[in-house]
Amino acid sequence: MSGLDTGQDIISYVALGDSFTEGLDDPYPDSDRTPDGRFRGWADRLAEHLAAAVPEVRYANLAVRGKLIRQIVRDQLPRAVELRPDLVTLCAGGNDIIRPGSDPDQVAEVFEGAVQRLRATGAHVVVFTGMDTGFQPVMRHLRGKVATYNMHVRAVADRHGCTVVDLWAMRMLQDPRGWSWDRLHLSPEGHRRLALRTAELIGLAVESGWDAPWPPEPPKDWRSARQEDLHWAREFLVPWIGRRLTGRSSGDGLSPKRPDLEPLRCGGRGSASSRRS
């Protein structure tokens, strides 16, 4: 699929997904003074790149943390179709794939239905593969399921003319510095690099460097690495298992941070009415 037409005076962009697109663990610089705790993330950063390239960008981010693909289709997709944007990013299915017993073939069927509905609006649709989890010891066993789902995502993109952002191929994200402490969400630098790569793929002229090597870092000793593993298990893994057992989600009670297409100022924050409830 050719790049996004940036010759327009106004471009509208809607982001769909879960915590990955909501932007978790990438706070705005003034987040300590913002009571709703908004996050920035690669999608907000992509909108900022758009705002630097065209006279006006109208941006909505419907993503909510913890959502499964059927919830995204039920709660976010109808609103995106209603808004009829020029550009849609859809990153979905990750929360399904990491759950025990999930079937990547079935998840892909739901994903394709969503893509069909979005493409029917005339939007330029950007989709994302899953990351190669081979570098994460606790997530390594999911590598085959992620790879299977990725093949489906690529096939869906081919059938429906979507741009693919291949996270599996972004080797610089296979460094712990690309990820936050929970090992599931990108760090601010990871979000920055993903935004640059996505902007590049849709045809925006942006600075290079999304794939720049990380600076050298001394290796951690065995004891420090195990202490980090224990901290991660206590602070993230145990609460995550608890939510699964009780049917709760980290996104329960939350609404999208930008539910409407609103003009985005070059500073990236947009209207002051964008709040998470």
Q: Which of 101, 123, 130 is nearest to 17 (CA)?
A: 130
| pLDDT in the model for residue 277 | 31
Domains and CATH numbers, the chain: 10-211+221-263 (3.40.50.1110)
| pLDDT in the model for residue 210 | 94
| pLDDT in the model for residue 270 | 46
Q: Which tokens go with 67?
A: 């959502």
What does the pLDDT profile of the chain (277 residues) look like in tens digits?
556 888 889 999 999 999 999 999 898 877 554 435 678 999 999 999 999 999 999 999 999 999 999 999 999 999 999 999 999 999 999 999 988 889 999 999 999 999 999 999 999 999 999 999 887 777 788 899 999 999 999 999 999 999 999 999 999 998 888 988 777 789 999 999 999 999 999 999 998 889 999 888 777 676 766 666 666 666 666 666 666 556 666 666 788 999 999 998 654 444 433 333 3
| pLDDT in the model for residue 10 | 93
- pTM for the predicted model, two decimal places: 0.86
**What is the Cα Rg of the chain in Å?**
18
Q: Which tokens go with 134?
A: 């081979």
| pLDDT in the model for residue 250 | 63
Three-class DSSP labels, the chain:
CCCCCCCCCEEEEEEEECHHHHCCCCECCCHHHCCCCCECHHHHHHHHHHHCCCCEEEEEECCCCCCCHHHHHHHCHHHHHHHCCCEEEEECCHHHHCCCCCCHHHHHHHHHHHHHHHHCCCCEEEEECCCCHHHCCCCHHHHHHHHHHHHHHHHHHHHHCCEEECHHHCHHHCCHHHECCCCCCECHHHHHHHHHHHHHHCCCCCCCCCCCCCCCCCCCCHHHHHHHHHHHHHHHHHHHHHHHHHCCCCCCCCCCCEEEEEECCCCCCCCCCCCCC
